[in-house]
Amino acid sequence: MADKDPETMQQEMQSLKEKILQVNRDLFILEEDLLFPSSTQVNVFVSYDALEYFQLDGVSLKINDRPISNHLYTERELKAMNRGAVQRLFTGNLPVGEHELVAVVTGVGPEGRDYKRAVSMAFEKTSGTKYIELTIEGDDLRKQPGFRLKQWE
């Protein structure tokens, strides 16, 4: 077998790297499908647009009185969210039926005071993926932050 020139070997190496990356993506997708089947999957996201009235520190989530997620925000994450980013707080599985989601939000509110609020929502998990968003918005009329949970249709 003749020796291959370095350029041909480089092209083969690049081709192998691309194939490995594709296999890795495929495995990740399969793993997600196995761990979080769409029939039982629940996703919770947070969006933030209350910079004038509220500095977000963290969010804790509970479903059916069971803690499922805690997140403390970095300055970098807050900057991204102030530019319109939406963050996924939780992905998990729930059986079909009635459930309650509670989000506890902490931060610094108007006049530099510590601020802690809880918001809850009852929802029905049906077959298929469920998407819920915690929205943190400034209320210009009351000069306060507002918190609400909503389901995506």
Residue 38's pLDDT band, with cuts at 50, 70 and 90, is low
pLDDT given at position 2:
57
pLDDT at residue 134 is higher than 90: yes
pLDDT at residue 1 is higher than 60: no
Q: Which phi and psi angles does 15 have, rounded to 5°? A: -65, -45
Q: What is the pLDDT of residues 58-105, one digit of tens each?
A: 999 999 999 999 999 999 998 888 888 899 999 988 888 999 999 999
Contacting residues for 133 by C-beta, under 8 A, at least 6 apart: 44, 45, 46, 47, 86, 149, 150, 151, 152
pLDDT given at position 83:
86
* Side chain identity at residue 134, one-letter code: L
Q: What kind of fold does domain 37-151 have according to CATH?
A: Immunoglobulin-like (2.60.40)
Q: Where is pLDDT greater, at 64 or 139? A: 64
pLDDT at residue 36 is higher than 90: no
- CA separation for the pair 122, 79 (Å, rounded): 31
Does this model's pTM top 0.75?
no
pLDDT given at position 37:
63
Q: What is the pLDDT of residues 11-24, one digit of tens each?
A: 999 999 999 999 88
- CA distances 146 to 83, 84, 111, 117, 136, Å, are 18, 17, 16, 9, 6
pLDDT given at position 65:
94
pLDDT at residue 35 is higher than 80: no
Q: What is the biggest distance separating any 2 CA atoms in the chain, rounded to whole angstroms?
A: 80
